[in-house]
Amino acid sequence: MTEPRRLVFATNNSHKLSELRQIAGDGIIILSLADIGCEDDIPETGSTLEENSMIKARWVYERYGYDCFADDTGLEVTALGGEPGVRSARYATDGHDSAANMALLLRNLSDKADRSAGFRTVITLIEDGKASVFSGEVRGEIISEPSGSGGFGYDPVFRPEGWDKTFAEASPEEKNAVSHRGKAVARLIEYLKTIRK
């Protein structure tokens, strides 16, 4: 019998981990940073989502010797030239203050007619030192005030194209079916299943 494949997901986010483990199934064992004894505060010093996901995946591969993947996500708003983008988590403050981030976003958009925006996720996988990149995007618009209590981050102000509600008013299953992360993860898993070692 072949051993299941082991891969590290360079995250401490337990929600993302369990989502990935569920989609990956039995053939791939997904390890967390805690599972490999990594407590490093991995620097996210890149100026793009691509760079940050690469930095995180390479950090683990080079220091811990595991094949690894990492993700990075940003909200890209057309009228703001793609901002907050790679700075989405720290748009208003140094911390992950979603209420402050949304308030700043709505203030910056208050005189803009174009409310179009998209979430984009980039996943970089490093296997035997070689990088593969997967991405997913969902387009929509920023509504004028937060609505809904589900999800996280900017979900209460983001309404996907063709929807009459925000991500924060949707179930996790509804969101995952169309979301940036859902699409990027599906592409990664499809790749892993076809090239299973």
Question: Binding residue for ligand IMP (CB under 6 A) from 73, 124, 135, 166?
Answer: 73
Question: Binding residue for ligand IMP (CB under 6 A) from 72, 76, 141, 169?
Answer: 72
As a whole number of angstroms, the distance between CA 152 and CA 147 comes to: 12
Residue 105 tokens, joined: 């976003």
Among the residue ranges 26-34, 72-80, 103-111, 124-132, the one whose residues contact ligand IMP (CB under 6 A): 72-80
For the chain, the first-to-last Cα distance in angstroms comes to 13
89 binds ligand IMP (CB under 6 A): yes
153 binds ligand IMP (CB under 6 A): yes
CB neighbours of 124 closer than 8 A, spacing ≥ 6? Answer: 50, 53, 54, 56, 57, 69, 70, 131, 132, 133
User: CB-wise, 5 or 143, nearer to ligand IMP?
Assistant: 143
Q: Are 165 and 156 in contact (CB under 8 A)?
A: no
User: CB-wise, 101 or 124, nearer to ligand IMP?
Assistant: 101
User: CB-wise, 26 or 173, nearer to ligand IMP?
Assistant: 173
Residue 149 tokens, joined: 């209590």
Residue 41 tokens, joined: 């505060």
Binding site for ligand IMP (CB under 6 A): 72-75, 88-89, 96, 101, 119, 151-155, 167, 179, 181
The residues annotated as belonging to the active site are: 72
